[in-house]
């Protein structure tokens, strides 16, 4: 299982939100490029970058995302990028700029034709983000709840040539009180693509428990930024579970 440090972008800064609530910003670091370099220096080969402003319609960190991708190329690192990606043109631009995988969420889940076209145009390069609150899928920066159970969504994704599926337990996000293990186990069992888990990790024990559910990777934010999870412990676990 791989661990991907989260670099969430808001107003040009690297932040961590509690429960996805913009009023509950627990971490704010002024230089996201320096943050990314530090994760690479420590030994992480992958980063998960999200433009929160684009995802919620509050703005854009496009130039910063481009800088991060260029910096990753110089370090020989890989980045998956998401947040407000709702067009084929944006997907193509991100891949051309060096993204290893592009994360699509809202439009991919709300527009089946778009997802089909995107997956066919960029096979094996897209990760579909299924953000979940109590088994219901949410979109548009977690503001809209779809009347669809996550397992029904996962089943439908099997027909597309994806790189993976990212499942975020929104009800656990940023709280470090443990992931939704039953959710992740059910998704990993149902999904034909690699599953990346997110939400709730509070320490190395949570990562070990997630590895046992069968997920391929885990995006970790708050626990790494608050030192609840030692980076070296996460790196060691990746070697153990490779």
Residues acting as catalytic residues: 8, 131
Distant-in-sequence contacts of 187-191, Cβ < 8 A, 24+ apart: 187/130, 187/150, 187/151, 187/154, 187/215, 188/213, 188/214, 188/215, 189/214, 190/151, 190/154, 190/155, 191/154, 191/157, 191/158, 191/165
Phi and psi (nearest 5°) for 158? -65, -20
How far, rounded to the nearest angstrom, does the alpha carbon of residue 21 sit from its chain's CA centroid? Answer: 17
* Secondary structure class of 167 (helix, strand, coil): strand
Cα–Cα distance, 227 to 209 (Å, whole number): 19
């Amino acid at each position: 299982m791989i661990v991907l440090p989260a670099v969430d972008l808001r107003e040009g800064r690297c932040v961590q939100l509690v429960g996805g609530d913009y009023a509950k910003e627990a971490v704010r670091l002024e230089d996201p490029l320096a943050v990314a370099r530090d994760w690479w220096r420590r030994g992480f080969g992958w980063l998960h970058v999200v433009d929160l402003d684009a995802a919620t319609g509050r703005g854009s960190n496009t130039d910063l995302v481009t800088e991060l991708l260029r910096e990753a190329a110089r370090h020989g690192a890989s980045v998956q990028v998401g947040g407000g990606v709702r067009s084929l043109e944006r997907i193509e631009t991100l891949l051309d700029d060096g993204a290893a995988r592009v994360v699509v969420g809202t439009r991919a889940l709300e527009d089946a034709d778009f997802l089909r076209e995107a997956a066919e145009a960029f096979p094996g390069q897209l990760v579909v983000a299924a953000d979940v609150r109590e088994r219901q899928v949410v979109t548009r920066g977690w503001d809209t709840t779809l009347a669809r159970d996550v397992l029904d969504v996962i089943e439908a994704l099997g027909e597309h040539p994806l790189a993976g599926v990212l499942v975020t337990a929104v009800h656990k996000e940023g709280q470090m009180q443990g992931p939704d293990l039953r959710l992740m186990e059910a998704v990993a069992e149902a999904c034909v693509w690699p599953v990346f888990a997110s939400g709730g990790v509070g320490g190395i024990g949570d990562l070990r428990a997630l590895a046992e559910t069968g997920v391929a990777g885990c995006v970790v934010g708050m626990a790494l930024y608050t030192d609840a999870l030692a980076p070296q412990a996460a790196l060691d676990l990746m070697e153990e579970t490779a």
